[in-house]
Amino acid sequence: MDGNGRWARARNKPRHAGHRAGVRSVRATVEVAAERGVECLTLFAFSSENWRRPEEEVSNLMGLFVEALRREVDELHRNNVRLRFIGARQQLKPGLVRKISAAEAKTAGNSGLLLNVAVAYGGRWDIVEAAKRLATDVANGTLSLAAIDESTFADRLQLAGAPDADLLIRTGGEERISNFLLWNLAYAELYFTDVLWPEFDKDEFDKALAFFAGKQRRYGHTGDQVEAAQC
Ligand code: IPE
Ligand code: MG
């Protein structure tokens, strides 16, 4: 979700006004994803690198997360959304962690859209943490070295159990992954748009879905093989 700062600057507003406007796009995106039957949506809200931003901006963003949780969780729950947070939550303030845990517990039994919010998240961090868990399990004898494969590895990632990402949407004009879900994006279609995040809405989401619908997913096969399998 990129482009909040540029959106604000273009309107002579402070950066936090852009982040606040970005929350509206989050709401619209979650709604349209649920309407379109998306199974799993992961939002990159704050990266492990975003701690490098000025202290005031970081604290504004953290305040916005707390506020958004206070305002939105009941409605998400009513809409059958299951909310989960991924990232290094020990780096967050205890008040925010409590709100996160309460939101997860409240929505844990829901069967609709799985909404993951990545906060203090980095793709490399995720992989290293999974490696540490694997090493621990091997060291204490609950997992054999021979049992390590892509599946046992993926089971120890933050998004264990979630489907692989099919589509990555990045707003704001940059065409990079910026340490998002490195493992899970292995076969994702990549959709980049110049639209700034506060202007991203249901129509823009539908454009991304149309882009995705036009892709043939081959996973290493030939196009002919894929077409034959569809008949
Ligand atoms: C993304 O918008 C929001 C977060 C990282 C939280 P930016 O703040 O990166 O916006 P630009 O890139 O400065 O426009
Ligand atoms: Mg940016």
Residues 95 and 8 in one domain: yes
24 lines ligand 1 (CB under 6 A): no
* Local confidence band at 147 (pLDDT 50, 70, 90 cut-offs): very high
Q: What is the domain count for the chain?
A: 2
Sign of CA dihedral 150, 156, 162, 164: negative
Residues 111 and 207 in one domain: yes
Using DSSP, state whether 192 is helix, strand or coil: strand
Residue 193 CA to residue 170 CA, distance in Å, equals 6
Find the 3 Cα to ligand 2 centroid distance in Å. 5
Find the 145 Cα to ligand 2 centroid distance in Å. 41
* Local confidence band at 217 (pLDDT 50, 70, 90 cut-offs): confident
Q: What is the pLDDT of residue 32?
A: 98
Mean pLDDT across the chain: 97
Domain that holds residue 129: 122-162
Beta bridge partners of 103: none
Residues 63 and 32 in one domain: yes
According to DSSP, residue 164 is labeled: P
Q: What is the pLDDT of residue 231?
A: 80
Q: Is 228 left (phi over 0), alpha (psi -120 to 50) or beta?
A: alpha
Residues 13 and 109 in one domain: yes
* Ligand 1 atom at minimal distance to the Cα of residue 8: 14
Residues 114 and 210 in one domain: yes
172 lines ligand 1 (CB under 6 A): yes
pLDDT in tens, 32-49: 999 999 999 999 999 999
For residue 47, give the nearest of 174, 134, 205, 203 by alpha carbon: 174
Q: Judge contact between 44 and 121, C-beta under 8 A.
A: yes
pLDDT higher than 90, residue 193: yes
Q: What is the pLDDT of residue 230?
A: 87
Q: Which residues are catalytic?
A: 2, 50
121 lines ligand 1 (CB under 6 A): no
Tell me what the mean pLDDT of segment 156-172 comes to: 97
Q: Which of 1, 4, 52 to mutate to test the pocket of ligand 1 (most atoms within 8 A of CB)?
A: 4
Residues 82 and 111 in one domain: yes
Find the 167 Cα to ligand 1 centroid distance in Å. 20
pLDDT in tens, 33-90: 999 999 999 999 999 999 999 999 999 999 999 999 999 999 999 999 999 999 999 9
50 lines ligand 1 (CB under 6 A): yes
The rounded percent of the chain whose pLDDT value lies above 70 is 100
5 lines ligand 1 (CB under 6 A): yes
Residue 65 CA to residue 84 CA, distance in Å, equals 13
Give nearest CA residue, ligand 1 atom 3. Answer: 2
Q: What is the pLDDT of residue 220?
A: 92
Of the three residues 130, 147, 162, the one that is the final residue of a domain is: 162
Residue 160 CA to residue 137 CA, distance in Å, equals 16
Find the 76 Cα to ligand 2 centroid distance in Å. 27
